């Protein structure tokens, strides 16, 4: 993927390369924009004010307007930023995405950005770069012909911004990870198999000098991973238990040891409890979005190299049907010795995560965070723009929630109501793998996972709704969002 080049300017770009001017406009009130920050701009009287008046532009967040620029052969773009006092990183990230998309519609390969003094702050500059790079993502890998009508931005001139190449580089490293996750989730299940995830981990290990251990089926059996292996039984694809690790080379000891676990079910048919009706079986290629986020985080962390030891763990498999497939009513034993009655073979992700959690805790880490497209109940509860977070450690949860507004990846704390665990009571085993049919499905799923973490601080992110979008918005195309990568990396760097 070719990203645009960012260039800092104290005055306008050369006439030869200049194609578009993009002006961020604040909203003064519901009907009037705030244009005081544009005073003295050469285009202010000739182009901007007539455009504002003719388009009835108010500066409302997320709105745009365009006009010809008579001073050059290019265009002027107005981007609504909303109320100035409400500006945050996500506002700027979304505005950057709108600039990119508008330039593509205008077939402009370059743009000059004037966002008042907003980009003089590091966090705002980073957010602008992130929004631009996220919007630049286009996946045409599986099309026989590329769309030659699309114009991609090649240069972004940042006018009167803080000149900070390191911040731009950091944004590029993070978004490279996010876009890797989008690549993995967008790809079909006949392309992204457990073996392909292992190959991706191998490439990351080689590129960033990480350590890698891939456990095969026999290795997992020796470790007693009966919960995970029960999900693998119906698939002709071999399972791959992936353990990728970044260790800093600093002479100082790492400031923390963290384990990140991603659900890696590369296709979920539901097993013998086959998905039917509105279960959207055709989209179940994205049931490995947690694994994609973990690998995307590994890509970014490998490039950034913080002083933390970070383990990236994925129990990869398919959930399919054949004569060996796990049956409802079967009893399996996880690697911590707990027995599970399989009430529903479509509640498979928690079985893979159970053994991954036991494995991670044995590493002696300070905290474990898992990400999983675990329950449809989470989509019902929170929709498609945010994920739910559960956990046993308030400090860990609070630190993850603090990263959310900085990244625009929204999370909401959900209750871990211990009384609901009785809904998973089994007559013949320690527990069933599903709870009551009457509700609280996301909570009971989290309670199930809690049984496989003894003492370590743990947080569970149910990202089922946020990993996919049917319609493009701001800096996302339709399809995979790469949700979780930016949140994890920000948390790792700032906690």
Active site residues: 275, 350
Rounded Cα gap, residues 259 and 291, in angstroms: 13
């Amino acid at each position: 993927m070719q990203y645009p080049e960012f260039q800092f300017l104290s005055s306008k770009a050369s006439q030869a390369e200049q194609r578009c001017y993009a002006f961020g406009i604040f909203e003064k009130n519901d009907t009037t924009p705030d244009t005081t920050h544009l005073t003295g701009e050469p285009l202010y009287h000739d182009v901007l004010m007539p455009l504002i008046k003719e388009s009835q532009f108010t500066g409302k967040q997320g709105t745009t307007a365009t006009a010809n620029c008579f001073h050059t052969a290019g265009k002027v773009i107005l981007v609504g930023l909303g109320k100035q006092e409400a500006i945050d990183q996500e506002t700027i990230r979304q505005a950057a995405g709108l600039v990119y998309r508008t330039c593509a519609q205008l077939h402009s390969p370059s743009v000059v950005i004037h966002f008042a003094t907003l980009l003089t702050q590091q966090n705002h500059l980073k957010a602008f770069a992130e929004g631009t790079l996220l919007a630049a993502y286009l996946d045409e890998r599986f099309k026989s012909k590329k769309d030659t009508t699309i114009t991609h931005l090649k240069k972004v001139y940042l006018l009167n911004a803080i000149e900070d190449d390191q911040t731009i580089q950091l944004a590029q490293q993070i978004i490279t990870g996010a876009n890797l996750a989008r690549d993995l989730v967008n790809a079909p299940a006949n392309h992204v198999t457990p073996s392909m995830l292992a190959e991706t981990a191998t490439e990351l290990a080689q590129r960033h000098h990480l350590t890698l251990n891939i456990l095969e089926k026999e290795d997992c059996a020796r470790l007693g991973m009966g919960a995970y292996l029960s999900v693998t039984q119906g698939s002709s694809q071999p399972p791959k238990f992936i353990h990728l690790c970044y260790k800093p080379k600093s002479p100082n000891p790492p400031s923390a040891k963290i384990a990140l676990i991603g659900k890696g079910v590369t296709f979920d048919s539901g097993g013998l409890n086959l998905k039917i009706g509105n279960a959207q079986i055709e989209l179940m290629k994205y049931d490995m979005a947690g694994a994609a986020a973990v690998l995307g985080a590994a890509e970014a962390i490998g490039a950034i190299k913080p002083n933390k030891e970070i383990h990236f763990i994925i129990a990869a498999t398919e959930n399919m049907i054949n004569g060996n497939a796990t049956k409802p009513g079967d009893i399996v034993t996880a690697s911590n010795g707990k027995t599970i009655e399989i009430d529903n073979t479509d509640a498979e992700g928690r079985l893979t995560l159970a053994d991954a959690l036991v494995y991670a805790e044995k590493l002696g880490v300070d905290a474990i965070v898992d990400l999983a497209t675990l329950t449809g109940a989470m989509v019902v509860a929170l929709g498609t723009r945010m994920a739910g977070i559960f956990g046993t450690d308030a400090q860990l949860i609070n630190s993850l929630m603090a990263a959310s507004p900085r990244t625009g990846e929204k999370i909401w704390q959900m209750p871990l109501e211990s009384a609901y665990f009785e809904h998973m009571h089994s007559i013949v085993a320690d527990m069933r793998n599903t709870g009551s049919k009457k509700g609280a499905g996301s909570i009971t799923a989290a309670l199930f996972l809690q049984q496989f973490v003894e003492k370590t601080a743990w947080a569970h992110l149910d990202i089922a709704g946020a990993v996919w979008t049917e319609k493009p918005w701001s800096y996302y195309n339709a399809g995979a969002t790469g949700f979780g990568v930016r949140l994890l990396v920000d948390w790792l760097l700032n906690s």
